[in-house]
Structure 1
Amino acid sequence: MTDKQITGLTQAEVDQRIQNGQVNQAIDDQSKTATQIIRENVFTYFNLIFAILAVLLVFVGAWNDLTFLPVIVLNTIIGIVQELRAKKVLSKLNVMNATEIIAVRDGQEEKIPIEKLVQDDVILLQTGDQIPADARVISGELRVNEALLTGESDEITKTKDAELMSGSFVVSGKAYAVLEKVGKDSYISKLTIKAKAMGSVEQSEMVRSINRLVKWVGIIIIPVGIALFSQSFFLNNIGLKRSITSMEAALIGMIPEGLYLLTTIALALAAMRLARQEVMLHDMKSVETLARVNVLCVDKTGTITEPKMAVEKAVSSKNFTGDLSSIIADFAKNMPADNATMKAIQAYFKDGTQTADSILPFTSVNKYSGVIFGNQTTLIGAPEMVLRDQFAQYQTEFEKYAAEGYRVLIAANYPGILTEDNSALKENVQVLGYILLSNPIRKEAKSTFQYFNQQGVDIKVISGDNPVTVARVAKQAGINGADKYIDAQTIKDGEYEQAMQNYNVFGRVKPDQKRKFVVALQNQGNTVAMTGDGVNDILAMKKADCSIAMASGNSAAVQASQVVLLDSNFAK
C-alpha cells in the first residue's frame, strides 16, 4: 500500500489528460511508418533512371527490351516486404520489452508502461529506475546520477520538492514524485531517440560506401548516356529506336541497382533472424556495427556468470571473537533489499533483532553501505574501499577466498555516525569478518567465448569486483589472457590506453572508469561493444560503438542500448 496521503490521480483525471494529449508519449522519428518504407524503396535515384529508360523504350516501341523491369519491380517489392516484416517483428518485441514503472492511481500502486503515464501522475522511484519525465519529489529521498545530462558522475541527493530531470537514473533510495513535464515537453523524448537509434545521417560504413558508389555512377551515367546516343544517332546515322536501345543496353550494365536493395534486405533479414532469437535491435544498422566489433567489453556478473547471487558462508577475522552472523543479520534486517547482493545476504542471514537508528545506502562510488547503531556504523562493502590504509594489514586474510573465485565483502565497525552527506571514511575500522558470495558460471559461457576467440574478437572483462576473483572466473569461462589482470584503482589518467593493451581483466572499476576504458580502446582504432545490465554500465554503453543490454537489468540500461537480449542470454 502507498502512503495514506498519496492517492495519485483518479481514472477520470487520467482519461481527461489523455484527451488533452498530456501523455508521456515520445515522438520517435527513427521508427519508420509503412508509408515511409514504401516511399523510400520506390522513389530511389536508380529507380528513377530505370523509369526514364523504360519510358524511352516504350516511346520507341522497343517492348522486347523491357525485360529488366520485372527484376527491378521484384527487387523493390522484396525490399518493401522484408522491411515491413522486420518492422512487425521488432514492434512486437518492443511491446514485449516495454519499460514499466510503478504509478499511484486511485490510491493503489500499479505498474504502467512509461509511455502511458500522464501529467501529474504520482510515481514510485526506486534503485535502478530511469526517471521517465521531468518530476518533483513529494515524499522520500533519492540519490540520483545525472551524468547522462551533465556529464558529471557525482551522485546528488534529492529530498522533498527537489526537481528530477528525465533521463537521469536512481542510484539508491526510494521516493514518490509527481510528473510535471511529460512527452515532447520532457528531456527524455530527445534522449530516448538518441539512445535507441542512430540518426538518419549516421549511416553504417557499408551504406556510406554504397552511397559513394551511387553518387559517382549517378554523375557519370548521364554524360555517358548522352554521348552514346549522340554517337549512334548523329554520327553513325542509326535510327532513333536502335540508338536508344543500344544506349540503354550499355547503361543498364553500369548501374548496380540491386546492390543497395540487397543491402537493405540483408540488414532486414538479419534483424528478423535476431528477433526470432529473442534479440531486439533498436536500429537495423546495429547488425553491421555488431559484425565489425573487434573488442567486446563484458561484465562478470550476468554475462559470464548467472545473474543470481548466493552467500556461501561468513568467516570471522582473526582478531574478532564475537558472533559475526548475528551482527550481519542485524545489518540485513535494517537495510532495504534493493540490489542482488543485499537480497542474497538477507536470504542467508534471517534472524536479525536490533532496529537501527539510521542507515547509509549503498552507492556505486563508495562501494559500501552502513547501518548506524548508537555512536558507531556497521559497514559492509568492498574490502579496498572500507579498509583503505589498513588493506595490506588484512589482505592475507581474505585474498585466498578471492583466489578461489568468491566475491568477498568485508564487515566492519566504524567509530562514528556516517550520513549520505558525510559518508567519507576518515578513521580506521574494526574488522569483524568477511562474507563470501558466489555466482555460478553460465553453462554456455565457455563455448560462447571460444566462438569469439575464433572470430578474432578480443574480450575485456570489466567488473567492480576484486580483480583476483574476476580473473579466476574469467579463466573458468575460457577467456584468453585471463591471467593478465589489474586493480583499476591503480590506473592513473593518461595510462588507460597502455592498460588496455597490457591487461584483459579489470577489477574494482568505478562507473566513470568504464567509459574511459571504452574511449581508450576506440583511440587505438578498435570498434568496441559494451555489455551491461546496471546503472553503472550506462556511461560506457552510451560511448561504445555498439551497446548490448540484458533485459533482466534495469530499465535505464535497456533504454540506453542498441541491442537488447530479451532472455538475458549472452550466448544469443
Structure 2
Amino acid sequence: MTTTGEVHVDHVTGLTSAQVAERVARGQVNEVGERTSRSIGEIVRANVLTRFNAILGALFVLVMTTGSWADGLFGIVLVVNSAIGIVQEYLAKRKLDRLALLNAPTTRVVRDGETVVIPTHEVVLDDLIELRSGDEVPADGVLLTSEGLELGEANLTGESDPVHHPAGDEILSGTSVVAGSGRYHAKAIGPEAYVNRIAAEARKFTRTYSEIQTSINTLLRYITWVIAFALPLQVWSQWKVVGDEGWQSVVLRSAAGVVGLVPEGLVLLTSVAFLLAAVQLTKDQVLVQQLPAVEGLARVDVVCLDKTGTLTVGEIAFDDVKPVKAGHGSAADEIRCALGALADDPNANGTLAAIGAAIPTPGWHRNGTVPFNSERKWSAACFEDHETWVLGAPEVLLPDDDPLRDDVAELAQRGRRVMLLCRSAEPLDEPVLPDDLAPAAIVTLSEQIRPDARETLGYLAEEGVHIKVISGDNPQTVAAVAREVGLDPGEPVDARTLPEDSDQLREIVSRTTVFGRVSPEQKRAFVHALQADGHVVAMTGDGVNDALALKDADIGVAMGNGAQATKAVAELVLLDGRFAHLPKVLGEGRRVIGNVERVANLFVAKNAMSLLAIVAAALATLPFPFLPRHLTLVSTLTIGIPAFFLALGPNKRRYQPGFLGRILRFAVPAGFIAGLAVFASYVLAGRNYGVPPEEFSTRCEVASSGDVGAVDLACIQPSTGATITLLVVFFWILVVLARPFRWWKAVLIGTMAGLAVLAFMLPIGHQFFGFNAPPALVWSSLGIGVVGAALIEVLHRWSLGVGASPMVSAGQSHDPS
C-alpha cells in the first residue's frame, strides 16, 4: 500500500488544500468505477478492425487492382458503415458520459476541518473519509472511529451477513456501509486499492446478458465458417469458368459472391439501435449503465418491487405516538423526549429523520449507539442519566403472545408504518436486545403513494409482467399499500416464517404477491428462486438492503435518490426516482429487439442467397451471376438503407424468446428461394439472350472486366435479368418484414423501388451498372421474380402458423408504429 511518508495528516481536520493539490499533482488520485462508454480509440477499433471489414477490405483492394472502379462501390459502403458507427457512438458517448458525470458516486471527506462532498474519483491519498449508511467504501484504510459501523462485504467475500468493524479495523474498497458511521484515512487508492486489484475475480462483476448480442455473435460465427467453405469454392469455380479471360475476371466474379456473404451493416445497426435507445432514455431521466439492459428489461416477466421509494415516494412523515396501556406505562413527555433523542443522530435513517423533523431533540447526551440494520430491524441508543431506548419493528421486539400485537396489526392494515418504542435499564455494548426490554409507545408514520404507481403497475400487468412486492415493512402495511395501487395482495407473507429450503421457497414465491419483513439476503433468495423457475427478473430498490438483490437480478433498477451502493450495482438508474419510467424503458427494449430482428432477417437472407448462388454456379460450371456492383445496388436499396430506418422505427411487440431460431427459420429458406429464382432467371436469360458457353470467354471478356461500353450486349443480359429477379424477390422480403405498413414505411419502400427502376431506365444508370434489358427479358425476369415473391409469401404464412413469422417478430400483432 501507498504510505504517507513524513507528511502529517490531522485526524480531525484532514488534509489542507495545499496537501490535496500536492497529491493531485503527483497523480495520487482515486480512479474507480466502471466506465459508461468506450474510449474514442476503442470506438474506432470496434467499428473498423472487424473480421468482416478485413475480408471486405482485402476484396476491395483486389477489385481495385482490376481497374473496375464501379465494382468497388462496396468499399465505399464499408467506409460509410464504419464512419456512421463511429460518429453515432461518439455522440452517444458524449451524452452518456455527461449524464454519468452529473450522477457520479460521491464521497464525504474532511478537508481544512470541514466535511465536504466530492466525486469519488477526486479522493486523494490520505484523505480523511467519513462513512455513513448507504455509502460505498471508496478506498482502503484503517478505521479511526466507528459508531456501530457495519459493512456489507458480499462483493468481496461472498458473505451475505454485515460485518461489524470497530476502530482499528482495516476496511477495503468495494464494500458498502449497511449501518453505522465511521472515519478513516485513505491509504490505498486507484489501481492500488483492493477492489481494483481483484475486480475481475472478487467483485464478481457480470455484464448484462443480451440475447440479441449473443445471437448476433453466434450468427457471425456461422457466417465465418460459411465464408471459409465458400471462398475457395468460389475462386476455384470462377477460375475454371472465366479463367481464360484473365485473373481480373476471376477476381471480380469471386469477389461478388463473397461480398454477398458478408453482413456488412448488421453489427453496426445493432450497436446503433442500443446506443440510440440509451440516449433516448436519458431524456426521460434514465441512466443506462450497461447498454444491453435496454433489451434486458423487455425480456423481463417478473418485477420485484421494494415498497418504500418505489410504490411510495420514499419520504415518510411522522404521524402519531401512542403510549402503551397502563401496566407498561411511560409519561408522554418522556416518550417524546426519547424519540427526539434517538432522532438526534448524524447517521439517522429515513424513519429517525422523519421523527426528528417533527420532534425536537431534548439535548440528551448519547454514550452508546446500535444503528439500524435491515437484518435486526431495530436501532437503539444509551443516554447519560437516562435509560436505553430501542426503536424497531413490533414483530421483532414483542413476544408472540403480547396483546399489543393486535393494536399493531390494526394500524398496519390501515396502511400505517408501525414502530415500537421500548425502554431498558441495561446499557447496550453490542447489538443484542436486553432482557428487561419493556414496550413504551407505538409510533406510526405515514407514506405517500406515488401518483403514477397504479398506472405503471396496470401497464405492466397488461403486458404480462408479474409483480412481487418485497419489503422490510410489516406485511399488513405492505398489503395495504399494494391494494391502494391496484394490486391484489392475496394473503401477505411474513418472510421470517419462510423456509430455508430452496424448493419450498420457490413454491411459495411463485404463488405469493406481497412479502413483508424481508431481510436483504431473503430478497436475494427470492430473485434466485424466480430465476430457477425460468423467469427473467428485474429488481427495483433504493436502499443498501436492496443492493444484493439488484446485483443478482437479471436487471437491477435503482432509484436516483437511493444509496450509492445500490446505484453502483444497478444496470439502470431512474435519476428522478420515478417508477413510471419503466414502461418507457420496456418500450425501448422492445423496439430494439423487434427492429434488430427485422434487419437481421434481411442480412441473413442475402447471405443465404449468395451461398446458394455460389454452389449452383460451381455445380453448373457457370460464371457467378453478378458483378460486385450488382449486389451493391441490391444490398443498398433492399437492405442497407431500409434496414437503417427500420432499425430505428417504433416497435411495441411483446418479447418472444427464440431470437436466433426465428431468424434462421425464415431468412435461410427465404434466401434459398431468392437464390433459386436468381439462378433460374440467369440460366433462362443466358439461353435466350446470352451467348453459348463455348463463346463466352472470347465474346464476354470485357463484360467481366467492367468496360460496358465495348461489350457485346448479349454478355451482360443474363446478369441484368438475374438482378431484376433478385430485386423483385428482395423487395418482397422487405415488404414482409416491414409489416404492418405505416405511411413512412410505404414511402421508404416506394422510394427504394423508384431508385431501382431508375438504375435500369436512365442511361447513366444502365451504363454504370452494366445493364441491358430488352422488354422480353424484363418481363421474363419479372415473372420469375414474382414467382419467387409468391413463394416468400407462402413461407411467411407458413411460418406464421408455426409461430416463427417475421411478421410477428417484427411486431404485426402489437406494433402501432
TM-score of the alignment, normalized to the shorter chain, above 0.5:
yes
Aligned to 2:519: 510
Aligned to 1:306: 313
1:360 aligned residue (354, 357, 370):
370
Instruction: Note if 1:476 corresponds to 2:487.
Output: no
Q: Is the 8 A contact 1:197 1:562 kept in 2?
A: no
Aligned to 1:339: 349
String of CA shifts for 1:405-456, please: whole Å, max 9, x gaps.
111111223453333x2513545x4333311111111111111112211222
Amino acid at match of 1:447: E
1:434 aligned residue (442, 448, 452):
442
RMSD: 2.5
Amino acid at match of 1:131: V
String of CA shifts for 1:274-328, please: whole Å, max 9, x gaps.
1222211222122222222221111001011002110122233334554335413
Q: Is the 8 A contact 1:466 1:508 kept in 2?
A: yes
State the Cα distance separating 1:31 from its structure 2 match.
4.1
Between the aligned partners of 2:149 and 2:354, the Cα distance in structure 1 is: 23
1:403 aligned residue (413, 416, 420):
413
Local SS of the residue matching 1:104: strand
State the Cα distance separating 1:388 from its structure 2 match.
3.6
Between the aligned partners of 1:270 and 1:167, the Cα distance in structure 2 is: 30
Aligned to 2:462: 454
Q: Is the 8 A contact 1:330 1:355 kept in 2?
A: no
Instruction: Note if 1:182 corresponds to 2:189.
Output: yes
Local SS of the residue matching 1:257: coil
Instruction: Note if 1:131 corresponds to 2:137.
Output: yes
Larger CA deviation: 176-185 vs 20-29: 20-29
Aligned to 2:394: 383
Amino acid at match of 1:317: V
Q: Which segments of 5 or more consecutive residues in structure 1 lack a partner in the other structure?
A: none
Between the aligned partners of 2:576 and 2:200, the Cα distance in structure 1 is: 23
Q: Is the 8 A contact 1:130 1:167 kept in 2?
A: yes
Local SS of the residue matching 1:380: strand
State the Cα distance separating 1:217 from its structure 2 match.
1.2
Between the aligned partners of 1:171 and 1:98, the Cα distance in structure 2 is: 20
1:371 aligned residue (381, 388, 400):
381
Q: Is the 8 A contact 2:63 2:251 kept in 1?
A: yes
State the Cα distance separating 1:549 from its structure 2 match.
1.2
State the Cα distance separating 1:365 from its structure 2 match.
1.8
State the Cα distance separating 1:251 from its structure 2 match.
3.0
Instruction: Note if 1:17 corresponds to 2:23.
Output: yes
Q: Which segments of 5 or more consecutive residues in structure 2 lack a partner in the other structure?
A: 1-8, 582-817
1:262 aligned residue (242, 266, 269):
269
Amino acid at match of 2:404: Y
State the Cα distance separating 1:236 from its structure 2 match.
5.8
Between the aligned partners of 2:229 and 2:159, the Cα distance in structure 1 is: 56
Between the aligned partners of 2:386 and 2:115, the Cα distance in structure 1 is: 37
Between the aligned partners of 1:378 and 1:234, the Cα distance in structure 2 is: 95
String of CA shifts for 1:242-267, please: whole Å, max 9, x gaps.
44333333333332222211111111
Between the aligned partners of 2:197 and 2:557, the Cα distance in structure 1 is: 20
String of CA shifts for 1:333-379, please: whole Å, max 9, x gaps.
24415111001112222364655554432222211122336685332
Between the aligned partners of 2:33 and 2:174, the Cα distance in structure 1 is: 15
Between the aligned partners of 1:289 and 1:162, the Cα distance in structure 2 is: 40
When the two structures are aligned, how many residues end up with a matched partner? Answer: 564
Larger CA deviation: 285-294 vs 507-516: 285-294
Alignment of 1:190-205 (within 5 A): 198=206, 204-205=210-211
Q: Is the 8 A contact 1:375 1:416 kept in 2?
A: no
Cα 1:39–1:372 change in 2 (3 A) is: closer
1:350 aligned residue (341, 352, 360):
360
Q: Is the 8 A contact 1:103 1:122 kept in 2?
A: yes
State the Cα distance separating 1:196 from its structure 2 match.
11
Amino acid at match of 1:410: L
Aligned to 1:53: 59
State the Cα distance separating 1:155 from its structure 2 match.
3.3
Amino acid at match of 1:501: S
State the Cα distance separating 1:403 from its structure 2 match.
0.8
The TM-score normalised by the length of structure 1 is 0.92
Amino acid at match of 2:299: R
State the Cα distance separating 1:16 from its structure 2 match.
2.2
Alignment of 1:40-119 (within 5 A): 40-119=46-125
Task: Give 1 or 2 for the bigger CA radius of gyration.
Answer: 2
Local SS of the residue matching 1:89: helix
Cα 1:328–1:167 change in 2 (3 A) is: farther
Local SS of the residue matching 2:549: helix
String of CA shifts for 1:365-410, please: whole Å, max 9, x gaps.
211122336685332210111014345x322212111111111111
State the Cα distance separating 1:508 from its structure 2 match.
0.2
Instruction: Note if 1:550 corresponds to 2:559.
Output: yes
Q: Is the 8 A contact 1:144 1:168 kept in 2?
A: no
Q: Is the 8 A contact 2:349 2:372 kept in 1?
A: no
Q: Is the 8 A contact 1:314 1:325 kept in 2?
A: no
Q: Is the 8 A contact 1:135 1:165 kept in 2?
A: yes
Local SS of the residue matching 2:576: coil
Between the aligned partners of 1:569 and 1:361, the Cα distance in structure 2 is: 29
2:173 aligned residue (166, 185, 196):
166
Cα 1:109–1:418 change in 2 (3 A) is: closer
Between the aligned partners of 1:197 and 1:153, the Cα distance in structure 2 is: 16
Aligned to 2:289: 282
Aligned to 1:530: 539
Q: Is the 8 A contact 1:127 1:172 kept in 2?
A: yes
Instruction: Note if 1:33 corresponds to 2:43.
Output: no
Q: Is the 8 A contact 1:298 1:530 kept in 2?
A: yes
Q: Is the 8 A contact 1:130 1:169 kept in 2?
A: yes
Residue identity over aligned pairs, in percent, reads 36
Between the aligned partners of 1:25 and 1:228, the Cα distance in structure 2 is: 53
